[in-house]
Structure formats: C-alpha cells, structure tokens
Amino acid sequence: MQRASRLKRELSLLTTEPPPGITCWQHEQQLGNLRAQILGGADTPYEKGIFNLEILVPERYPFEPPKIRFLTPIYHPNIDSAGRICLDVLKLPPKGAWRPSLNIPTLLSSVQLLMAEPNPDDPLMADISSEYKYNKQLFVLKAKEWTAKFATQ
C-alpha cells in the first residue's frame, strides 16, 4: 500500500515538476514498471542524446531501491553493456547509500549527474575507466560516437 501511494505521488511530481532534462512515466499500466528519458547534458559527450531507462520498483519500495538500467547503449565507465549502473544510491547499505527518504526524481537526477561526471575510481567497465583517466580525448570521442549512433533520433 505504501509503495502504491508513494509511487503515484512521485509520478505526479515527475509530471508536474520534472527535473530539467528528465521525463518519467508508467510503462504498460503496471505501477512498478516505469520508463524514463534523460537528455544528455550540455558540454558533455552525451549532449543532444536521448537516453532511455527502465525502472523496476520492488514491492518493498521505499525500503528497497528501484532497479534502474539504461536501455540505450552508452559509453561510460560506470554503466556496463547490459545498462546496469554503478551508483551508491542504487544499492542498500552497507555497500550502498540507499535511504527510504530518497525518491525516483532524486535517483534520476543522480544518474544524470553521473553521466556528466563519471566516477572512474568505482567503475563497472575497467577499460573505459582507464581510458577516461589516461586518455580523456579518446574517451570523449568514443562517447560522442556512441551518443550519435545510439541516442539520437
């Protein structure tokens, strides 16, 4: 019951006051199955890209974090080829920083921030991480190529 009322409230907030560059909606009329789009930030390799995400909200939400993954391929040290995201707020403590006070708009804003500012010290993709650290020009070039190939309409 708590999950349903909270999700309805969060979806309403996402509709009326969405964070800049983020949209989110219910998928196939299933309450716990959401989709989101994040626009690539200006002055990032993902600029002008539209990235689709899947959000699966567990029965125990808000006591358990939603599972969020990219459906659009993205070249990023913290996002793997299956779209999984390495971000502390998406995991329960002790390894993660999820708290029931967090919500879906906040999580999507955190993912958007991670896109703009990768964390190469906690990578899912070691090769992309070392490229980001030691050959940033090549990383930016590849990230822009992937954005053009997969994330533009």
Q: Is 127 helix (H, G, I), strand (E, B) or coil?
A: helix
Both structure tokens of 107? 């999580």
| C-alpha span between 84 and 42 (Å, rounded) | 23
Q: Which of 68, 86, 90, 111 is catalytic?
A: 86
24 catalytic per annotation: no
Biggest distance spanned by C-alpha atoms of the chain: 50
Q: Which residues are catalytic?
A: 86
